[in-house]
Amino acid sequence: MEIHYRHEWKHELNYLDLLSIRARLRAVMEPDPHTIDGKYYIRSLYFDNPNDKALREKLDGVNLREKFRIRYYNGDTSLIHLEKKSKVNGLGTKFSARLSAEEAQAIVDGDIDWMPASEHPLVQELYCKMRYQGMGPKTIVDYTREPFIYAPGNVRVTFDYDIRTGMKSTDFLNPACVTIPAGDAPILLEVKWDAFLPSIIRDIVQMPGRHAAAFSKYAQCRIYG
């Protein structure tokens, strides 16, 4: 299987930056057709081992790293995905497998004996890491996303904000699960593209005094433990 890597930039913004860049993006990019009023709500459950391997590798800037999460959108638990994000030399790729709500809850509860028989290699891989490396659910990460798309270069630009965290991971599938603001989290601009980033998009997302950052929503949401 060929692995497809994408380039990625992240910038931390303030609210005035958001208003300025959003207005310019709307003039040249299309909103993601899957949004509701231009945005959607994301809930993720991130995994780590007892030594916080994923967190420490992110904070230390390790060149080759990965992290697992379960994710769904807009409170809709009829469409849930297990995802593994990998980074190599600053390039990113993502692997995904669909889960039922029952399968997702079983994983959260530590009921994993069924996983080796799954038809999805990613589910089998998570099983091995849970069984032999002690990996398990660590924290809930909630946020709102505004996504824009641009066909040349397969560009995707997103604004992520209102980042919240929840430590009681067993309530992951409960839309009413209590979460709290993840400290003083910034607004995050993410830009992803394939082989090239068109200059018109590059010019829009560049802001004076704003530089590419290594911000991690998962790391931000671990500030309470």
Q: How far is CA 74 from CA 43, 44, 143, 225, in A?
A: 8, 11, 10, 26
- Predicted TM-score (pTM) of this structure: 0.93
Task: Count Cβ atoms below 10 Å from residue 181 Cβ, excluding itself.
Answer: 12
The residue extents of the domains of the chain are 7-220
Closest C-alpha to 4, from 191, 155, 153, 195: 195
Percentage of the chain surpassing pLDDT 90?
Answer: 74
- Whether 220 has a pLDDT exceeding 60, the answer reads yes
Reported confidence tier of residue 88, pLDDT bands at 50, 70, 90: confident
pLDDT per residue as tens digits for the range 20-31? 999 999 999 999
Which DSSP symbol is given to 63? S
Show the 3-state SS of 165-194: EECCHHHCCCCCCCCEECCCCCEEEEEEEC
Provide the pLDDT for residue 189: 95
* Under 8 Å between Cβ of 134 and 47: no
- Whether 212 has a pLDDT exceeding 90, the answer reads no
Q: How far is CA 5 from CA 58, 80, 192, in A?
A: 18, 23, 10
- Whether 139 has a pLDDT exceeding 60, the answer reads yes
* Under 8 Å between Cβ of 104 and 90: no
Percentage of the chain surpassing pLDDT 70?
Answer: 97
- Whether 211 has a pLDDT exceeding 70, the answer reads no
CATH code, residues 7-220: 3.20.100.30
pLDDT per residue as tens digits for the range 140-197? 999 999 999 999 999 999 999 999 998 767 789 998 888 999 999 999 999 999 989 9
- Whether 127 has a pLDDT exceeding 60, the answer reads yes
Provide the pLDDT for residue 146: 97
Reported confidence tier of residue 206, pLDDT bands at 50, 70, 90: confident
